[in-house]
A and B are shown apart, each in its own frame.
Chain A
Amino acid sequence: MAPQSMLILSALLFAIGVFGVLWNRGAITILMCVELMLNAANLAFITFARQFDQADGQIYVFFIMTLAAAEAAVGLAIVIALFRLRESTDVDELNLLKW
């Protein structure tokens, strides 16, 4: 597959992720959309690594995967704690911290 197509796919995935974060109110969906954006970035890294025949991009991908795993663990833990407290995961209801 040509690198242009892969970059377009990556951009598409990222846009879907952004849209999902802004549109959805469920905390779990938002977390999933964040994962989508991270993986879109991964795809771009891989594409460039392959295009320029360099390993840097692949190394970054490993880092991002580790980071994503940690983020999912912490994020889900927060969501569970939140659900126990409020019996809801709607982020729009969590608006106490404001002016």
Chain B
Amino acid sequence: MLKLIWLIPLLPVVGVILNGLFGRRLPLKIVGTIACTTVLLAFGLSVGAVMNLAALPENARHFETDVATWLPLGEMVTGSELNIAWGFGLDPLSAVLLLVVTGVGLLIHIYSVGYMQHERDYARFFTYLNLFMAMMLLLVLGNNLLVLFVGWEGVGLCSYLLIGFYYDQPFDKRTGLSCADAGRKAFIVNRIGDFAFLIGMLYLALEFGTLKFSELNVALAGHHTPGWLLTGIGVLLFFGACGKSAQIPLFVWLPDAMAGPTPVSALIHAATMVTAGVYMVCRMSALYAGTPEAMAVIAAVGAGTALFAATMGITATDIKKVLAYSTVSQLGFMFAAVGVGAYVAAIFHLMTHAFFKALLFLGAGSVIHGLHGQQDIRKMGGLRAKMPQTFLTFFIAMLAIAGIPGLAGFFSKDEILAGAWNGNKIVWGVLSFAALITAFYMMRLTWLVFFGKYRGDEKTWSKAHESPALMTVPLMVLAGLSIAGGYIGVPAVMSGWVGLGDVNILHHWLAPAITEAGGHGAAAAHGAAAAHDAGMETMLILIATVVAVLGLALAWMMYRKDGVAATWAKRFGPVHTMLRNLYWVDEFYELVILRPFYAISRVFAGFDRWIVDGLVNATGVTADIGGQVLKYFQTGLVRNYALMFLFGVLVILYYVVRAVAV
């Protein structure tokens, strides 16, 4: 089945065509079935392909196929031929992403059938969603950077379309954005990052004469490229990832992306698209291995974002916004891991995060669905009684993201923290503090939604209901994954406790696909794992656990009784105000970037209106005046015309005769 991997991105396209062209005339059930079936087929094909890949020996787990030539650019400056093909490839790294994207994507498609059934434009929603799947799979399966970039832009487009799905609805009262504005904001902010990405990619093509990952890895292994160029390329590509994965300074679009329907937030803005940046950086590990400076930038930005976004999650009152800040923060964890060289930990966390964050979003969607559109957690509470299944699954996801031992998030976060400890102690400290805040705001969210007394109006409470099975079954599957997903990456020190050897499947699986600094992946990864002593790692695990429990306990103490949180908010008045206003980042950007930009735009608009338009209008006016003068030759007297005719003939005759005479 490996030869058929190019078919995987095409399957959802079938759904796009069918639902896009005929969806409006088809009954809802058929639209939903078409959309889910195409993704199911893609999932089946992916599982088959990955199983075939796993059957190969460890060092041969790499498959590539070029379906068609795309850009035969021929000889480049460097002398090598640059021919870009529609190429697809599968290796252990893309296999993980492939399964996560199709698997979680399938669950969310099924959930959406239930969630969207009362909404208008049902077919449009599933058309976009299938298009997103196609583009995401293209991104994951592309075997060169340009095909990846097509998918990269494609998911950006779908993100824009789906954020603005309720294009005529207002979204945010504080900033006055409508849903359409939120989509536009996401698109434009992403474009800034994409521009840097494109420049970085062009430099790569010029320097190495290829954009294929396999050839780049070889070229980078024996390169003589100046370090500053590698660093520049690395930082440019990472800036692109900052846009897509919502890192400082380009994170501002993700909270506003919550304007889209909740399944979209779960699929695109939590589980898959926003992790594309992490995937890309891991893909380019051979490049980053040669430039510690770019790695340091990534680590710093990642750790900074993890803490910064987590603090914003403390005071948010919209159930989806809390989760959005949480996503930004968790993506920061992943980048921090990549930055300190713990690629496997980053991919591990990417996977577990896809499970529990999708579950959290879908759970939030279930709550919103049950409360008929209510998103303000100040008007929720006590929903545990009304929605037992949603509550249970949400609670599991909450424990998983907080890092309670035994659940998926614990293993991956622990591995990131261990990697950070080995790489840079400051990063470790920042991430640990961010983990504490994560546990705190997740407990706060869960408490305000599901525990305590209900704070909304009676009518909504009496109508509040558990969601249908179409929605709760995906929740349960994801809850299962949030519990079990961590056991493919159990650290060696922990499996040692129960008498097992090294059972870290994920490490062994990913090792051939990743190049770490100072040697090839496998050796370095295992070397690092064995180098630091087991005692230190045990202590790190204990600290992480204490931090998680502490965060949960703090939130529990603060929100258990009414009024405690308000007292604390008053005590930290200025800090609270700052967090409520999200550090005024949007206002800052408006002042520093948007206002000057608009001012410059007005100057250019004036230039266009007065100078360019003026020239065009002057041409017209000249012609008009000329006509006003010359019209008096049109006397209406035939004999005048004949006379002028005669003059004309005489003039021409004069020139002809003179030419002949000479």
Contacts and interface: CB of A to CB of B under 8 A. Distances in A.
Answer yes or no: are A and B bound together in one complex.
yes
Interface of A: 18, 21-22, 25, 91-92, 94-99
Given A18-B646, A22-B646, A99 B632 contact: yes
Contacts of B643: 22
Nearest to B627: A99
B636 A96 contact: yes
Please indicate which of the listed interface residues B631, B635, B639 has the most CB atoms of chain A within 10 Å of its own CB: B639
B69 interface: no
A22 B643 CA distance: 7
Interface string B620-662: 0000000000011011111100110010000000000000000
B544 to A, nearest CB: 93
Given A91-B637, A94-B636, A99-B632, 11 more contacts: A21-B642, A22-B643, A91-B638, A92-B637, A94-B638, A95-B635, A96-B636, A98-B635, A98-B636, A99-B631, A99-B634
A95 B637 CA distance: 5
Contacts of A22: 639, 642-643, 646
Contacts of B634: 98-99
Across the A-B interface, the 6 shortest Cβ-Cβ residue pairs: A98-B636, A95-B636, A99-B631, A91-B638, A99-B634, A98-B634
Contacts of A25: 639
Contacts of B638: 91, 94
A9 to B, nearest CB: 20
20 contacts: A18-B646, A22-B639, A22-B642, A22-B643, A22-B646, A25-B639, A91-B637, A91-B638, A91-B639, A92-B639, A95-B635, A95-B636, A96-B636, A97-B636, A98-B634, A98-B635, A98-B636, A99-B631, A99-B632, A99-B634
B593 to A, nearest CB: 58
B398 to A, nearest CB: 87
Contacts of A95: 635-637
Interface string B327-360: 0000000000000000000000000000000000
Nearest to B646: A18
A96 B636 CA distance: 6
Interface string B233-249: 00000000000000000
A4 B638 CA distance: 34
Contacts of B637: 91-92, 95
Contacts of A98: 634-636
Interface string B57-82: 00000000000000000000000000
A15 to B, nearest CB: 11
B73 to A, nearest CB: 62
B216 to A, nearest CB: 74
Nearest to A91: B638
Interface string B285-316: 00000000000000000000000000000000
A56 to B, nearest CB: 20
A81 B235 CA distance: 88
A81 to B, nearest CB: 16
Contacts of B636: 94-98
Contacts of A96: 636
Contacts of B642: 21-22
Contacts of B646: 18, 22
A71 B646 CA distance: 20
Contacts of A21: 639, 642
A28 B203 CA distance: 84
A25 B637 CA distance: 10
B241 to A, nearest CB: 70
A99 B628 CA distance: 9
A97 B635 CA distance: 8
A87 to B, nearest CB: 18
Contacts of B632: 99
Nearest to A23: B639
Nearest to A21: B642
Nearest to B630: A99
B629 to A, nearest CB: 11
Please indicate which of the listed interface residues B632, B638, B642, B646 has the most CB atoms of chain A within 10 Å of its own CB: B638
A21 B631 CA distance: 24
A75 to B, nearest CB: 12
A22 B650 CA distance: 15
A22 to B, nearest CB: 6
